[in-house]
Amino acid sequence: MIRAIVLAAGKGTRMKSARSKVLHEICGRPMLWYVVQALRSAGIGEIVVVINSELRDEIERFDVQSVVQEEQLGTGHAVRVALEHLEPRSGRLVVVCGDMPLVTGELLGRMAGSLDADGGVAPVMALVTVKMPLPSNFGRIVRSGRRVERIVEVRDATPEQLTIDEMNAGIYAFDEVALRDAVARLRTDNAQGEYYLTDTVAEFVRAGRGVRPVLATDHLHVLGINDRIELAQVRKEMNARLCAAHMRDGVTIVDPETTYLEPELEIGGDTVLYPNTTIARLSSIGRNCVVGPNSRLSNAKLGDRVTVRESVVTDTTIGDDVWIGPFAHLRGDTRLGDKVHVGNFVEIKKSNLDRRVKVSHLSYLGDATIGEETNVGAGTITCNFDGERKHPTIVGRNVAIGSNTSLVAPVSVGDGALTGAGSVVTKDVPSGERVAGNPARPLPKK
Ligand code: UD1
Ligand code: MG
């Protein structure tokens, strides 16, 4: 099995942040998450992340091995620390930086595979190189003829070497036995006084061993993040990639530039996403839905043929053929049955609305259960909070809640009952009863 070392101990000073760089998020996941995913998708199961001590508690959620590099003495030193942690084995080992979330499993797999011998002796190192616009802070690939001779870091480079536009991406595959040997020989006689992992190239070449360059076709795949400007650039690229994947699967995204997605979303075929829409936190959307414009779904589960216009839906599960918005806010473990209609300026919190319930205008429902086919009139409010505690409101089936009704919880309204406009309901209303007034009292029987 192929092993991997992820380098993530650097302080990331240019982020000017109290948080470790690799924990900064793009599209809803820490950048390290993407690197770990890419390694796993390349079939690499054993992953060791080299971290600084600040990351010690946070690393657990990534389900990888980790080792602390107490002092950041350079990339070569980081690899040495990781190798000390790993039981020596003969086999292949991939090294990648934790701040390169756009790296793909395809590229990592291709590189590990390029340690295969083709004809002659197998190389002991493969590295991803990339053509990049100048100037650049990346290490330069120095070749002699077609052969890679060494990598020179920008701070050690001659003006002539700085004109080389083939760069070291910082992604490598090694023969582990050869790597252990080379890393032990690294020295710090360079401009930064660090152990450079990149010096292993010259070391191998000197020993007559093969180093194979693998040219990345797209420099975006190896874009590392050093500051918040690059963070934004990578986010944009990652979002474009996520949108493209859903569009290929049959989702219409009217404007991918202003549609903000995350990994691990489910979106059904023929669903249309309109601009300025964010879909976050493991949301799922059925088929033939319309979401947006100007909407945010977070941990929302939508059935088929649901429309959400200009609305915010959080921690909510929705059936089929439901209409929401414009300007609705659903939250806090709310459930809507099939064919529910939630209209303008309605807030619903921790409530359960059965099928065909209508709440069309200007209402607040909190801690409420509403039976099927009930109509909640404009301006209805559940007064669920007495200043200290929240209380439930239970409304039955086929109820007509009149406009501007206040339901003072805890309270219930039975099946088929009616409240008149402006009722303040302070006592339970039996099934079939008609009440009105403040406080609401039964109306004379017709
Ligand atoms: C490195 C390469 C450079 C390459 C570039 C690509 C070296 C010497 N240079 O330069 O050729 O073009 O990456 O991005 O390797 N890290 C540790 N411990 C340390 C030092 C670094 O874990 O002691 C980690 C960092 O967190 C980072 C990665 O290693 O994820 C790269 O380190 P960084 O300092 O960014 O190296 P560069 O100067 O970018
Ligand atoms: Mg860097």
Choosing from 97, 132, 226 the residue with most ligand 1 atoms within 8 A of its CB, the one to mutate for a pocket test is 97
How far is residue 37's CA from residue 104's CA, in Å, rounded to a whole number?
9
pLDDT of residue 334: 98
* Ligand (nearest to CA of 8): 1
151 CB near ligand 1 (under 6 Å): yes
pLDDT of residue 218: 84
Atom of ligand 1 nearest to the CA of 139: 11
Residue 229 lies in a domain: no
How far is residue 396's CA from residue 12's CA, in Å, rounded to a whole number?
58
Q: Does residue 215 share a domain with residue 260?
A: no
Q: How many domains does the chain have?
A: 2
The average pLDDT across 259-286 equals 98
Q: Does residue 183 share a domain with residue 126?
A: yes
Asked if pLDDT for residue 54 goes beyond 80, the answer is yes
Residue 232 lies in a domain: no
CA of 138 to the centre of ligand 1 (A): 9
Atom of ligand 1 nearest to the CA of 226: 35
Summarize pLDDT for 359-405 with one digit per residue, the tens: 999 999 999 999 999 999 999 999 999 999 999 999 999 999 999 99
CA of 307 to the centre of ligand 2 (A): 44
Q: Does residue 197 share a domain with residue 299?
A: no
CATH code of the domain in which 159 resides: 3.90.550.10
Task: Look at residues 144, 209, 218, 163 and name the one whose alpha carbon lies nearest to residue 182.
Answer: 209
Q: Does residue 261 share a domain with residue 113?
A: no
Residue 227 lies in a domain: no
Residue 231 lies in a domain: no
How far is residue 108's CA from residue 226's CA, in Å, rounded to a whole number?
21
Asked if pLDDT for residue 268 goes beyond 80, the answer is yes
175 CB near ligand 1 (under 6 Å): no
Residue 234 lies in a domain: no
The average pLDDT across 52-69 equals 94
Q: Whose CA is nearest to atom 34 of ligand 1?
A: 10
195 CB near ligand 1 (under 6 Å): no
How far is residue 326's CA from residue 310's CA, in Å, rounded to a whole number?
5
Asked if pLDDT for residue 446 goes beyond 80, the answer is no
pLDDT of residue 168: 96
CA of 225 to the centre of ligand 2 (A): 7
Summarize pLDDT for 283-321 with one digit per residue, the tens: 999 999 999 999 999 999 999 999 999 999 999 999 999
How far is residue 41's CA from residue 375's CA, in Å, rounded to a whole number?
50
Other C-beta atoms lying within 10 Å of the C-beta of residue 324:
29
Q: Does residue 334 share a domain with residue 290?
A: yes
Q: Does residue 357 share a domain with residue 257?
A: yes
Position 120 confidence tier, pLDDT thresholds 50, 70, 90: confident
The average pLDDT across 348-365 equals 98
Summarize pLDDT for 212-232 with one digit per residue, the tens: 999 988 888 888 899 999 999
> Which string of b and e fits 29-43 if b means at least 16 CB within 10 Å?
bbbbbbbbbbbbebe
How far is residue 191's CA from residue 213's CA, in Å, rounded to a whole number?
25
pLDDT of residue 397: 98
Q: Does residue 184 share a domain with residue 62?
A: yes
pLDDT of residue 221: 84
Catalytic residue among 85, 219, 361, 391: 361
23 CB near ligand 1 (under 6 Å): no
Residue 288 lies in a domain: yes
Across all residues in the chain, what is the average pLDDT?
96
* Ligand (nearest to CA of 226): 2
69 CB near ligand 1 (under 6 Å): yes
Residue 230 lies in a domain: no
pLDDT of residue 445: 80
Q: Does residue 44 share a domain with residue 110?
A: yes
Task: Give the gyration radius of the chain's Cα atoms.
Answer: 30
Domain extent, residue 8, equals 3-222
CATH code of the domain in which 259 resides: 2.160.10.10
pLDDT of residue 220: 84
Q: Does residue 179 share a domain with residue 252?
A: no
Summarize pLDDT for 140-160 with one digit per residue, the tens: 999 999 999 999 999 999 999
Q: Whose CA is nearest to atom 26 of ligand 1?
A: 10
Residue 228 lies in a domain: no
pLDDT of residue 12: 87
Active site residue 85: no
Position 11 confidence tier, pLDDT thresholds 50, 70, 90: confident
Question: What contacts 248, CB < 8 A, 6 or more positions away?
Answer: none
